[in-house]
Amino acid sequence: MKLIRSFVLREKRDVFLSVLFGFLAGMGAVALFANSGYLISRAAIEPPLYVLTVTIALLKLFSFTRGLSRYGERLYSHRATFTMLSSVRTHFFRQIAPLAPRITHRFQSGDLLSRIVGDVESLQNYFLRVFYPPVVMAAVFTATIAFTVFFSPAAAALLVGGVLLAGWILPAIYRGRQQRASAGIREARGKLSTDAAEFFYGYQDLKLFQKLDDKEEELLEAADSYVGKQRKAAGSRLAGLTWNQSTAFLISWLVLVTGVVMTANGTLDGIYLAMLMMISLTVFENAVPMAQYPSYAEESRQAAARLDEAIEEEQQEQPQRSGTALKRADVPIRFDAVQFTYPGEVRPVIKDVSFTLPAGSRTAVVGASGSGKSTLAQLMLGIYLPEQGTVSYGNVSTGALDETTIWPHVNAQLQEQHFFAATVRDNLFAEEADDADLQQVLEQVRLGYLSLDTLLEERAANLSGGERRRLGTARLLLRQKPVWILDEPAASVDAATAAEVGAEIEHASAGSTFFLISHDLSGLEAMDQILVMEEGRLVESGTYQELMRRQGSFYQMKLVEAEVVA
């Protein structure tokens, strides 16, 4: 909330103008109606023409003042709001973007989207309905009461009582209720977004496994829960509004009664009675927004808390990085007694792993599914930091580096790659390359039959699994990098095509530090070293020939592979 307040206060000029015009609009309204009341009473006793002329001219002046000031208030308050929203959105996005992909493991995509869009959007009410209306209300009431005291201290006292009740006491009572009524409303929206996203992503599988009805029911329950919570919050907001209005009318009625009594006993000139009545009716217009104050204050607090939660929890989970830049990556990459557990998990998935990738060497990592191979790649990219031990480039550990400075040195093809709903050309991420180069790269990955203008669907759903993998490889072939990290580039690719594309990769990566994660044990003879992972431990390492001679885990794996092939 502190941060949101600081974003609002940055717009000092607009904040000042909103309050100023809000005050002028409020005073304009009070003066307009007071003047009307006075005019009606005065006209009844046939005053000289000049009195009517002046009063009518004032009426016009006040109505212009009111209209123009209200316009100014709306203009500057909305400008301050939208500028603040854009600052919050940019700030939130800047904070959250570097946390990817870690953040996407912690928060589901639907929930994250609901925070980025919905929660940020809710903060628009913070300035408009929480921050400045109390200031305007206090200023308008103070000025009006000072004016009223002059005619009737009793009516002024009633107004003071009314403003305390409508502007402070009732909203304070409603604040607690509103907190209860709107508790969990944002979480319910997050859950609904998550369920909806899951429903659409998993639609095909849900259909195939006949689970569509169950999931639909869950989705409807989430929708009902969200609507129910919204209804409760809106009910509470309306109740607050009703009490606020009732108080305003009651006070106006009391002002009328007091005025009548005072006029009857001669302590008030009857000509001012209608004016006092109109003042009372109008001045409470400014207290109406206060009825919604608790609801919007609570909504803003919850939205800000959810945004903080997304950023802070994730930042706290991660060890602090000192953020220096990696200047060169053509250096040995070392794992020293590395232990690693994923955030929020208890089971270490990498246990006391040490190895070195000499600059320009070629290494393959093999091992059973879940043995920690992909995690090694994530640690090497600095996406995660080891819990114990170090991963270092030359003499610099990844903990001392800003991880984003590692990535420009690396050609990485991780297990999951994202493809955008755009052309093949756009998905190759090589704006500076000309079409002939791009087409040539497509040939190299045996996708020459695709046109650069072919439109890919979201997540490249119109390509086969193997085609997606090879399109991912094509991205790397367009960039010369000193380090290559490949996590099963041949997954879902037939053996013959995989061998051909493998040869292209080998050629393109010659001289680079090459780190290949593979389930395929063939073609590893040319590697400088092979690392064998088992349940998070490095159980064997050496050249192909050494490992075969040793007849350990790698040898056993080869035997199993040979049996399966046979």
Ligand X SMILES: Nc1ncnc2c1ncn2[C@@H]1O[C@H](COP(=O)(O)OP(=O)(O)OP(=O)(O)O)[C@@H](O)[C@H]1O
Residues 513-550: b if buried by 16+ CB within 10 A, e if exposed: bbbbbbebbebbeebebbbbbeebebebbbebeebeee
Q: Which is nearer to ligand X, 302 or 518 (CB)?
A: 518
Is residue 375 within the footprint of ligand X (CB under 6 A)? yes
Cross-strand pairs, 324: 401
Is residue 210 within the footprint of ligand X (CB under 6 A)? no
Work out how close the CB of 204 gets to ligand X at its nearest, in angstroms, rounded to a whole number: 22
Work out how close the CB of 240 gets to ligand X at its nearest, in angstroms, rounded to a whole number: 45
Is residue 395 within the footprint of ligand X (CB under 6 A)? no
Helix (H) or strand (E) holding 103: helix 102-106
Among 349, 400, 433, 521, binds ligand X (CB under 6 A): 349
Residues 6+ away with beta carbon under 8 Å from 39: 52, 55, 56, 59
Residues 73-98: b if buried by 16+ CB within 10 A, e if exposed: beebbeebbebbbebbbebbeebbee
* CA angle (493, 499, 502) in 5-degree steps: 90
Is residue 499 within the footprint of ligand X (CB under 6 A)? no
- The DSSP 8-state label assigned to residue 325 in this structure reads P
Cross-strand pairs, 484: 411, 514
Among 199, 342, 407, 555, binds ligand X (CB under 6 A): 342
Q: Strand order in 410-413's β-sheet?
A: 410-413, 483-487, 513-517, 362-367, 529-534, 537-542
Q: Which is nearer to ligand X, 21 or 515 (CB)?
A: 515
Q: Which is nearer to ligand X, 223 or 539 (CB)?
A: 539
Is residue 518 within the footprint of ligand X (CB under 6 A)? no
Work out how close the CB of 378 gets to ligand X at its nearest, in angstroms, rounded to a whole number: 8
Is residue 153 within the footprint of ligand X (CB under 6 A)? no
Compute the Cα dihedral for 323, 326, 327, 332 and give only its sign: positive
Of 32-40, 51-59, 169-177, 341-349, the window that binds ligand X (rule: CB under 6 A) is 341-349
- Closest by Cα among 181, 178, 162 to 288: 162
Is residue 371 within the footprint of ligand X (CB under 6 A)? yes
Is residue 370 within the footprint of ligand X (CB under 6 A)? yes
Contact pattern for ligand X over residues 298 through 337, marking x by CB under 6 A: ----------------------------------------
Work out how close the CB of 527 gets to ligand X at its nearest, in angstroms, rounded to a whole number: 18
Work out how close the CB of 489 gets to ligand X at its nearest, in angstroms, rounded to a whole number: 13
Q: Which is nearer to ligand X, 346 or 496 (CB)?
A: 346
Is residue 345 within the footprint of ligand X (CB under 6 A)? yes
Restricting to residues 544-563, which ones interact with ligand X according to CB under 6 A?
none
Q: Which is nearer to ligand X, 487 or 504 (CB)?
A: 487
Is residue 346 within the footprint of ligand X (CB under 6 A)? no
Q: Which is nearer to ligand X, 170 or 547 (CB)?
A: 547
Length of the chain, in residues: 566
Please list the alpha-helical segments (H only) found in 164-211. Answer: 170-181, 185-201, 203-208
- Closest by Cα among 526, 560, 521, 559 to 545: 526
Work out how close the CB of 490 gets to ligand X at its nearest, in angstroms, rounded to a whole number: 13
Residue 454: Cβ-neighbour burial (10 angstroms; 0-12, 13-18, 19+) = middle
Is residue 372 within the footprint of ligand X (CB under 6 A)? yes
Q: Which is nearer to ligand X, 324 or 492 (CB)?
A: 492
Q: Which residue has the tokens 């016009």?
A: 60
- The span from the CA of 67 to the CA of 60, in Å, is 11
Is residue 489 within the footprint of ligand X (CB under 6 A)? no
Q: Which is nearer to ligand X, 319 or 370 (CB)?
A: 370
Work out how close the CB of 523 gets to ligand X at its nearest, in angstroms, rounded to a whole number: 18
Is residue 374 within the footprint of ligand X (CB under 6 A)? yes
Helix (H) or strand (E) holding 86: helix 49-96
Residues 6+ away with beta carbon under 8 Å from 184: 229
Other residues' Cβ atoms within 10 Å of the Cβ of residue 54? 11
Among 210, 265, 320, 369, binds ligand X (CB under 6 A): 369
- Closest by Cα among 311, 267, 375, 296 to 96: 311
Contact pattern for ligand X over residues 79 through 118, marking x by CB under 6 A: --------------------------x-------------
Is residue 373 within the footprint of ligand X (CB under 6 A)? yes
Q: Which is nearer to ligand X, 320 or 369 (CB)?
A: 369
Give the footprint of ligand X on this chain (CB under 6 A).
105, 342, 345, 349, 367, 369-375, 415
